[in-house]
Structure 1
Amino acid sequence: MKVDILAIGAHPDDVELGCGGTLAKLISEGKKVAIVDLTQGELGTRGTNYTRAEEAANASKTLGISARENLKMKDGFLLNNEEHQMQIVKMIRKYQPEIVLANAIDDRHPDHAKAAKLVSDSCFLAGLLKIETVSEGENQKPWRPKHVFHYIQWKNIEPDFVVDISAFMEKKIEVCLCYKTQFYDPDSKEPMTPIATKDFLESLTYRAQDLGRLSGVEFAEGFTTEKLIALKNFEGIIL
């Protein structure tokens, strides 16, 4: 099934936190979106891999994506090796995205930067004719996305561009809160973590608001790009 956008995250909830508003906007415009989670988030302090899977399913339904898969790599120990690269190559060739959205290039959690490089390398390899892959009994055709963009996570990385998500900020928060075990809940008896605080939940809004302030919109999500972007014209720029 070909999609327009393939969003990849090291853990379930990475994609929603990093670019959930952008995906909601793209889906509203008729774009097809799929998500691939590399791990089950099994090392997370709160919840289990089973609750995380349920939460990911609820988030997917709320967001309205076309497909979601989990590659069940080892949480906390991601490796940029041939085995993991080939798993992602198969996903890229299966979904044939024009754009891939991947983890932040540098971040607090070591899996995020590892995943960023792993996905970037795999996108290149997926376009090589002499790398052969088989999925569901059929030989896959080479496919290389036109762009790989990296969303911003814990660290305040300066974006290369932002996407206006002013009409989709509420949807982003709704989708993120599908991960009930992970984020702020005053009634939870689970151990406290940096992302389970009230401040972190509020930061989703004020960080998007700050990027909006800098770019002249109400709310925005930022991305870094691996190569220079060429515009067809100036019509897509908010003046």
Structure 2
Amino acid sequence: MITTLHSYLFIGAHPDDIEIWAGGLILRILRENPTAQVHCVVLTDGSAGYATAQERYEEAMNAAKMMKVSSYEFLNLKDGSLHFNNELPNIIANLIRKYKPDLLITHPRKDRHPDHAAAGTATDKALFLAMVVPEFLDYEPHLCKNVLRFMSDPFNSPKSKLYVDISEVYEQKKSVISNFKTQLGVLEPYLQLNELYGRLINCAAAEIFEPEVLVF
């Protein structure tokens, strides 16, 4: 099962991306495996959203404390600029080499938001770069054998889906999301989707991921 792995890396383009699409998975991992290493990285500063970069940073850090993750890192790249950033594959490769995850969870390649799509596409190159030895990367090489993608667009559902029952941690997830006060108008409908996904598998709430590589 996913929750028996040792090290996890969640990469989101913006503050709240990880929490809304995978917060339940994080809470379930740490509930079932308290010694797991769960690392979260936010690529941008969130400044193109409905609040200032500082407000969004504070919201995310409050959420991180509630989830009790091992680390929560902001790279503070400019919000809205990821699709222009040619260095993004190298940046993500370095994150993979730094945290050495057994499972990487990030954006899909296809998403209406350019930053999300850029992060998802760059991850393909990053996974390869992370396991070889180019001189321009830091840390030791790492082969990440398991990859999941957020299902961030309910109207663009992947053919292959992994449902994760988050019923036992759903109230916790809602509390985590409540930290993002400046974004609640955008985020609350996704909580309703969690309840819909749960009904599809006969539970109270679920998150859906697209499995790309799973060998655990």
Superposed pair shares fold, TM > 0.5: yes
Shift of 1:132: 4.6
Structure with higher helix content:
2
Q: Which has the larger Rg?
A: 1
SS at match of 2:183: coil
Shift of 1:39: 0.2
Confirm or deny that 1:38 pairs with 2:38: no
The 10-residue stretch of structure 1 (10-19 or 174-183) with the greater mean CA deviation from structure 2: 174-183
Please give the per-residue CA displacement for 1:116-150, whole angstroms capped at 9, x wherever unaligned.
Answer: 1112321221011234523xxxxx11012111111
Question: Cα–Cα, structure 1 residues 76 and 170, in superposed 2: closer, same or farther, change >3 Å?
Answer: same
Shift of 1:14: 0.3
Which letter maps to 1:42?
Answer: S
Moved over 4 A (4+): none
Listed as ranges, the matches of 1:27-176 within 5 Å are: 27-29=30-32, 30=34, 31-44=36-49, 46-79=50-83, 82-134=86-138, 140-156=139-155, 157-158=157-158, 160-176=161-177
SS at match of 1:25: helix
How big is the alpha-carbon RMSD for the aligned residues of Structure 1 and Structure 2? 1.9
The 10-residue stretch of structure 1 (159-168 or 48-57) with the greater mean CA deviation from structure 2: 159-168
Tell me, in whole angstroms, the C-alpha distance in 2 between the residues paired with 1:42 and 1:63: 23
Tell me, in whole angstroms, the C-alpha distance in 2 between the residues paired with 1:81 and 1:129: 22
TM-score normalised by length of structure 1: 0.80
Percent sequence identity over aligned pairs: 35
Structure 1 unaligned residues grouped into runs of 5+: 135-139, 185-194, 232-239
Task: Give yes or no for contact 2:96–2:127 (8 Å, CA) kept in 1.
Answer: yes
Tell me, in whole angstroms, the C-alpha distance in 2 between the residues paired with 1:120 and 1:175: 30
Aligned residue in 1 for 2:3:
none
Structure 2 unaligned residues grouped into runs of 5+: 1-5
Tell me, in whole angstroms, the C-alpha distance in 2 between the residues paired with 1:71 and 1:109: 19
Count of residues paired in the alignment: 207
Task: Give yes or no for contact 2:67–2:176 (8 Å, CA) kept in 1.
Answer: yes
Task: Give yes or no for contact 1:108–1:155 (8 Å, CA) kept in 2.
Answer: no
Question: Cα–Cα, structure 1 residues 99 and 74, in superposed 2: closer, same or farther, change >3 Å?
Answer: same
Shift of 1:80: 7.0
